[in-house]
């Protein structure tokens, strides 16, 4: 999207919608920390049939053992599931929830189907209207059952209200739908909900405070930052702490999937030379940061830019570059 796009290909019917960060990078955070890749256990569920896992198996069969080993840096990590908008999310969510439950892990999912999504950009679409969205989010929540789950709610939706990209006539409905979605998801006994709040290069935290409150942040477990973005952990955490203070101490999670080399100034869509960031973990070193997560699926295109395929399509060459550029 001008800001995000993403997708998922896994245990059941998959969705096309994978993200890209919306704002061009500034030079201030390009060199601010380059977390090295490190394999390790985490409390989050790993999809054994994700696109990176399938790619690794294919390359191994083709004799590309070194490339297969590199791509496993993605395949072996827990990456968020993005159930498709426009279809019943229940089969996909239920399959992932069941698999996570069997392994005693937490499923990480993204709800991304708000009406008038992405302002007509790369991930345009979403539910046809408010009632369609309520039905979709209800099926999503029901499918979670009692599984331990972490849901990132509607990337860019609040930020697009603030920056005016979403037309004003939709603002009140959007905030109402987000608040209802938070409340519905929180009815599931073991589900945590993080309402998306954009990224550190987009706008001052103060501009987000009231819109987040209108969208139900007080009932949520916290907010999410840097989804499909490239901002470093340091820059994002500093920004998040400022926003958290303005929200009465709300916690947050950070997408670290592709931020190992920070952003590339002026390029938000499929920027070259990027690297994987800190693997998913709850050991963030910051009490107010609940987790580093791979919310964007590394290797899925941001859109038809820099030679990439359509938004959300698996792009093995880009995935391999991310892995190759990552220390470890």
Catalytic residues: 118, 156, 302
Whether the Cβ atoms of residue 111 and residue 63 lie closer than 8 Å to each other: no
Q: Name 102's Cβ contacts closer than 8 Å, sequence gap at least 6.
A: none
Torsion sign over Cα 137, 250, 3, 54: negative
d(CA 18, CA 264): 19
């Amino acid at each position: 999207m001008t800001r995000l796009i993403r997708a998922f290909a896994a245990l059941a019917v998959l969705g096309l919608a994978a993200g890209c960060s919306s704002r061009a990078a500034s030079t201030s955070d390009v060199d601010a920390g380059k977390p090295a890749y490190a394999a390790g256990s985490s409390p989050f569920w790993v999809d054994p049939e994700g696109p990176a896992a399938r790619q690794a198996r294919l390359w191994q069969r083709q004799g590309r053992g070194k490339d297969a080993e590199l791509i496993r840096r993605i395949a072996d990590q827990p990456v968020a599931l993005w159930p498709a908008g426009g279809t019943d999310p229940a089969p996909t969510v239920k399959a992932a929830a069941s698999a996570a439950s069997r392994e005693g892990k937490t499923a990480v999912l993204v709800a991304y189907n708000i009406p008038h999504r992405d302002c007509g950009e790369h991930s345009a679409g979403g539910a046809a209207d408010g009632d369609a969205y309520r039905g979709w989010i209800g099926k999503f929540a029901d499918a979670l059952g009692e599984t331990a789950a972490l849901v990132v709610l509607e990337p860019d939706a609040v930020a697009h209200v603030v920056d005016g990209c979403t037309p004003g006539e939709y603002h009140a409905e959007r905030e109402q739908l987000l608040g209802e979605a938070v409340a519905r998801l929180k009815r599931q006994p073991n589900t945590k909900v993080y309402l998306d709040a954009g990224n550190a290069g987009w706008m001052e935290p103060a501009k987000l405070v009231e819109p987040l409150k209108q969208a139900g942040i007080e009932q949520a477990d916290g907010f999410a930052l840097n989804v499909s973005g490239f901002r470093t952990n340091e820059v994002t955490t500093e920004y998040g702490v400022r926003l958290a203070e303005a929200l009465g101490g709300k916690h947050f999670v950070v997408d670290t999937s592709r931020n190992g080399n920070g952003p590339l100034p002026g390029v938000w869509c499929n920027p070259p030379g990027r690297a994987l960031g800190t693997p998913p973990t709850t050991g963030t070193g910051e009490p107010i940061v609940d987790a580093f997560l791979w919310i964007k699926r590394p290797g899925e295109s941001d859109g038809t830019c820099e030679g990439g395929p359509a938004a959300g399509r698996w792009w093995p060459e880009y995935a391999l570059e991310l892995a190759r550029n990552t220390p470890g």
